[in-house]
Amino acid sequence: MPEFTDCPYLKVALCQIAPVWLDRDATIQKVVRTIEQANEQGAELAVFGECVLPGYPFWLDFTGGAEFNSSKHKQIHAHYLSQAINIELGHLEPIYAIAKESSTAVIVGVAERASDRGGHSIYCSLVYIDANGNIRSVHRKLMPTYEERLTWSPGDGHGLRTFPLKNFTMGALNCWENWMPLPRAALYAQGEDLHVAIWPGGQHNTHDITRFIAKESRSYVISVSGLMRKMDFPANTPHIDEILEKSNDVLANGASCISAPDGSWVIEPQIGEEGVYVATLNHQIVLQERQNFDPVGHYSRPDVTQLVVNRNRQSTLKFKED
């Protein structure tokens, strides 16, 4: 249940940045600086795009990513693994520190090199760090989309959870998970009234679904995207010449935005520019919009339809000690 306060307001920041692509340490530094900027504007929650750490696998579209047993793709994948985030090794500690120092909660998308799955595969993970600098959730994307399946592994339901944030109950999903009705319903049923959707970027992703989810759930919806431009590919990227030859000048144009529970824009999609975009959300608007529709409350029929969610963290190994 949410931890209700005397103030229904929550100030949030859309942190729309391009990564220092496939450079973990440099991108972490950029994320830290951006959280500082969000804090300077009074933000209590700072949200970053999908897999901004250390970057989205844009090369797949430009290098024939489905070619089997290719030495080229093995080299690029090895480079990606070397720059991915291993939470157990403490890669995110600078972000924990700035979250605690600034009392700012953070959601950030990472390419996770998961120790509990052997440490050699990548999961598209959404990490929630609270304002005390504590990691609260690592949600691994349930189903990578299309070409993403060539480099990311399917996740599990462990992160289908909600968290209190002042008067709000917050949940979050990665990219096209937001099109999956049942994961959305799992969050709604846990009282979600602030939905966070993170994306690699693109107005084609955020423009329609942000308002759709807001109307369906009668919740605030925050969509935050990354940016990626041709100039953001570092010169030391493996097979950079082939990638640049076939890529567009803009690969991801951002379009971060916020919709109110009635589907109106709080912040319209922000196209093509890095920036920290701040808005104040009012929980009273949620309560007003639930008067005529509440998808898991008075406008539901659990005697007819129910959802079962497996939130166990999946692994190939279980130890039994003598």
Q: pTM of the predicted model, to two decimals?
A: 0.95
pLDDT at 172: 98
Average pLDDT value for residue range 229-245: 89
80-118: per-residue pLDDT in tens? 999 999 999 999 999 999 999 999 999 999 999 999 999
Residue 159 is encoded by which pair of tokens? 């992160």
178-192: per-residue pLDDT in tens? 999 999 999 999 999
- Mind listing the domains of the chain with CATH numbers? 9-289 (3.60.110.10)
Rounded to 10 deg, the angle between the 93-102 and 24-40 helix axes is: 10
Which letter does DSSP use for residue 84 in this model? S
How many other C-beta atoms are found inside a 10 Å radius of the C-beta of residue 302? 9
Peptide bond into 234 cis (omega under 30): no
Ramachandran quadrant class, 59 (left: phi over 0; alpha: psi -120 to 50; beta: rest): alpha
Residue-by-residue DSSP string for 250-304: EEEEEEEEEE-TTS-EEEEEEES--EEEEEEEEHHHHHHHTTT--TTTTT--TTT
Query: Residues with catalytic annotation?
Result: 50, 141, 175
pLDDT at 3: 47
pLDDT at 6: 65
Residue 146 is encoded by which pair of tokens? 């299309």
Residue 2, pLDDT above cutoff 80: no
17-58: per-residue pLDDT in tens? 999 999 999 999 999 999 999 999 999 999 999 999 999 999
Of the candidates 146, 151, 149, 152, the one whose C-alpha atom is nearest the C-alpha of residue 124 is: 152
Q: What share of the chain is helix, strand, coil (3-state, %, to 5)?
A: 30, 25, 40
Residues 135, 154: Cα–Cα separation, whole Å: 21
pLDDT band per the 50, 70, 90 thresholds, residue 5: low
Among the residues of the chain, which ranges form H helices? 24-40, 71-83, 93-102, 181-188, 203-217, 240-246, 283-289
Neighbouring-strand partners of residue 222: 196, 258
